[in-house]
Amino acid sequence: MNSIFWPYRKQHKLRAVELAEPRFLTPTLRASLKGILPLANAIRDLERAGEGDSELSRRMKALIRNHLTTASAELTDKASRQGLDLIAKGLINDDQYKSNGSILASLDEQELVGHVGPLGTWLGKSRKLFFSAFFGTPNNSLQAVSDVVDKHFKGAVSRLSANLDIELKTIPGCAYKIIDLFGIAGEADTFPKHFAYLMPEDQGIKYSPNKRTVVFANTYLALYQHIADEQKDIFGWTDIDLPCRSEIGRYLIGWFRGHDLGHSIVTEATDYRLLSRHDRWGSMVAQEAVADVFGFLLILDAEIAECLGLDTTKMIRLYVLELLRYLRRGPADFPDAGSAYIQLRLLEEWDVLSVNSPGSIDIDCERFVSAMARIAELLVKTVLVNDVGSFDAFLRNYSPHLADTDQDLLFGLEICDTSLFYEQTLTEKT
């Protein structure tokens, strides 16, 4: 699948989001990064034409390499320079690309974070890698939010274990690097936009001693503001019921870091390989559900919520808006949309969510957190155990990819056909 838009929709509504370039770019640095982006687009086009390995493509990669070397020399931060140098070397051959991916994931750049080379896309779209490039600058204030969650993670998991009366364990998770995106090209700039990449796994490197999720904070905020927030009327909420503009990043990144760490919460009996052999898509949906639910419970852990100054009811509402945003991208097209469906369906079964009429939904915020704890218990019994029978029964009951085709998976709402479109000052302005 080579299309620019995925999944198929009758129409696509685009919301323009400006990606502003950082002020520190010197003219030489700016020119080199600006030079890379159209080349990355051109290489992606050659891939579409079946010419990804052509001489022309190789020559374009050589040009990118020169730009990266020039750009690197303009940077003052050692790790950022090292990052660009590794990317440049990785363009020479596949082996180098693979070994460098792991080193790149261990860096803590303070000036510029980048990627140029093959990158994964949406799982339902294709499992192949396609040429992509992106550049961003570290977002220190939201990195600090994520670091708070990391700091209290172990304690929060043991408190959660005690509350649920389930012995939870943690396996090594991955680091988080939060950046503001300012330049992007190739597959990564097709639609819909990703706001996070798991590196180096998304570079096609499955086993790596170092892993980090690179999060595009500005993209994530734009997704919330342009898509999630617009759904508040469905619940009769207004701006004062939700985190204010300056607080949104804290709530979103806090929860999303909780989600990411939620992926590393298991029990003694967990065996995802077994579940994956049984139903690969279903296993991915279930793993997203585990991460979502534990992520939600973690972020409302007393110490984390207090440190980040989070209001429980506002967190619940923001979370529900995010669940709907995920769901309305297509319940069976994305594992995280499937996960959103499972949670919303269970909340409906337990009368925490009620559809009044099409487009009007009530949420019982008083009972919401205890219902999420109940979902966690259910997931522990059906997903975090090596029992294919109960896993299969759970999926048959709740996963949208196994639902009847005539079933309403959208709770009376419409599918969302809005996507973000990047206006990049780096490439648009001379």
Instruction: Give me the residues that bind Zn ion (CB under 5 A), please.
Output: 288, 291
Q: CB 409 → Zn ion: shortest distance, Å?
A: 20
Q: Considering beta carbons, is residue 291 or 308 the nearer one to Zn ion?
A: 291
Per-position b or e across 175-185, b if 16+ CB within 10 A of its CB: bbbbbbbbbbb
H helix and E strand count, the chain: 15, 11
Q: Considering beta carbons, is residue 5 or 281 the nearer one to Zn ion?
A: 281
Q: Considering beta carbons, is residue 41 or 213 the nearer one to Zn ion?
A: 213
Q: CB 43 → Zn ion: shortest distance, Å?
A: 29
Q: CB 128 → Zn ion: shortest distance, Å?
A: 21
Which of 268, 255, 237, 373 is closest to 304 using CA atoms? 255
| Residues whose CB is less than 8 angstroms from the CB of residue 408 and which lie 6 or more positions away in sequence, other chains included | none
Q: Cα–Cα distance between 218 and 178 in angstroms, integer?
A: 10
Q: CB 258 → Zn ion: shortest distance, Å?
A: 11
Q: Considering beta carbons, is residue 88 or 291 the nearer one to Zn ion?
A: 291
Q: Cα–Cα distance between 248 and 318 in angstroms, integer?
A: 9
Q: CB 66 → Zn ion: shortest distance, Å?
A: 37
Q: Considering beta carbons, is residue 133 or 275 the nearer one to Zn ion?
A: 275
Which of 281, 387, 365 is closest to 319 using CA atoms? 365
Q: Which residue is nearest to Zn ion (CB)?
A: 291
Q: Considering beta carbons, is residue 100 or 208 the nearer one to Zn ion?
A: 208
Helices (H), 50-106: 55-74, 78-90, 94-104
**Residue written as token pair 């172990």:** 154
**Residue written as token pair 């990266």:** 68
Q: Considering beta carbons, is residue 97 or 255 the nearer one to Zn ion?
A: 255
Q: Cα–Cα distance between 283 and 217 in angstroms, integer?
A: 28
Q: CB 339 → Zn ion: shortest distance, Å?
A: 8
Q: Considering beta carbons, is residue 2 or 264 the nearer one to Zn ion?
A: 264
Q: CB 35 → Zn ion: shortest distance, Å?
A: 34
Q: CB 215 → Zn ion: shortest distance, Å?
A: 12
Strand partners, 183: 135
Q: CB 126 → Zn ion: shortest distance, Å?
A: 19
Q: Are 379 and 164 in contact (CB under 8 A)?
A: no
Q: Are 293 and 343 in contact (CB under 8 A)?
A: yes
Helix (H), strand (E), coil (C) string for 101-161? HHHHCCCCCCCCEEEEEEECCCCCCCCCCEEEEEEEEECHHHHHHHHHHHHHHHHHHHHHH
Q: Cα–Cα distance between 250 and 246 in angstroms, integer?
A: 8
Q: Is 406 exposed, middle or buried (0-12, 13-18, 19+ CB in 10 A)?
A: exposed
Q: CB 399 → Zn ion: shortest distance, Å?
A: 16
Q: Considering beta carbons, is residue 173 or 204 the nearer one to Zn ion?
A: 173
Residue type, 257: R
Instruction: Extract the tokens encoding 312.
Output: 């429980």
Q: Considering beta carbons, is residue 291 or 344 the nearer one to Zn ion?
A: 291
